[in-house]
Amino acid sequence: MTEFELIERLFTRPSPGALVGNGDDAAVIAPSSGHAFVVTTDTLIEGRHFLPTLDPEKLGRRAVAVNLSDLAAMGAWPRFALLSLTLPQIDAPWVTAFARGLFDALGEHRVELVGGNTTRGPLAVGLTAMGEVPLSVGQPQVLLRSGAQPGDDVWVSGPLGDAGWACLCLLGEIDAVPTAEQIAHYECPVPRVDLGLALRPIATAAIDVSDGLVSEARHLARSSGVAIEIDATRIPTGLGALLSDERFAQAAWRALLATGDAYELLFTAPPGARARISELLAQQGLDGTRIGRVLAVAAEEAGMVRVLDARGEDRAAGRTGWDHFA
């Protein structure tokens, strides 16, 4: 078997949901009747989005997770994907493990890989994901960043900071040994697809926390023309004790507020939906909770985010998200 045949065999799977699947110049797909497609693309670069030591199977899963997380934040049902894989060489066991992780993760969400390409170069994994949402009178029923209303609650779907903490430890930026659970948070993010679907008729706005709580909250607040105030003591996190540990507090706050990789959903909803959302989170086994509220502000202050700690001090000041060029 040549390298070309190996690649073809590994990445060509049946796609019964496509009108024309893998193997021609392009794939042909159509959304279900009365639906529109939701499309997103993300590329994972070695050394920037994952460590060179990451197991290839986990890398395959991760590429799927980060893209489906964007679809989840739109309340879309994932359906199709295209892969752009750049490899320094064809290492058969490596590629086989990568494909296993990729297809396992796609399969869990019944997403079909309908095309892509493989080429030689520095390791990078690009995935384009397509989901769908219903159309109602021509308008897509979708979760946008722009719908948050003053008076809404702000929610997060699960713990923040643990993944970022693990990442900072593994990078050697924090002199601590991350727990296995923290590493799992970092290496194996879970896209909140079912939650996004269930939230579509309930939440007023949503975004996924890929680049840090404060920067994502700012994006959402700016798009919605509002401000957001978060009660830091309510943010679910495994870093609790570290936040007040003299030695680690600074790094822990950074991990909590300004590192990504959590891939939880940050969303807003009216207070009347509290019981329903709590029930939904419990049903799905998620440790999500209400962490803040949406405030009306003058247009020039739209996008303002405060994160108040137990002493009422704002911990958001000066925080930026993960800058891929920093």
Contacts with a copy of itself, residue ranges (CB under 8 A): 3-4, 19-20, 23-31, 35-43, 45-49, 70-71, 73-74, 76, 80, 82-84, 86-87, 89-90, 114-122, 124, 126, 128, 130-131, 133, 135, 139-140, 142, 144-146, 206-208, 223, 323-325
Query: CA-to-CA distance for 305 and 216, rounded, in angstroms?
Result: 10
For residues 222 and 276, which CB has a smaller minimum distance to a copy of itself in the complex? 222
Query: CA-to-CA distance for 132 and 151, rounded, in angstroms?
Result: 30
- The kind and range of the H/E element at 199 are helix 193-199
Shortest CB 248 distance to a copy of itself, Å? 28
Amino acid found at 250: Q
For residues 53 and 89, which CB has a smaller minimum distance to a copy of itself in the complex? 89
Shortest CB 74 distance to a copy of itself, Å? 5
Shortest CB 119 distance to a copy of itself, Å? 4
| Cβ–Cβ < 8 Å for 211, 260 | yes
DSSP letters spanning 219-230: HHHHHHT-EEEE
Shortest CB 173 distance to a copy of itself, Å? 17
For residues 208 and 261, which CB has a smaller minimum distance to a copy of itself in the complex? 208
Shortest CB 42 distance to a copy of itself, Å? 6
Query: CA-to-CA distance for 243 and 152, rounded, in angstroms?
Result: 27
For residues 220 and 252, which CB has a smaller minimum distance to a copy of itself in the complex? 220
Q: Which residue has the tokens 């939650």?
A: 195
Strand partners, 227: 295
CA atoms within 13 A on the CB side of 86: 10
For residues 215 and 237, which CB has a smaller minimum distance to a copy of itself in the complex? 215
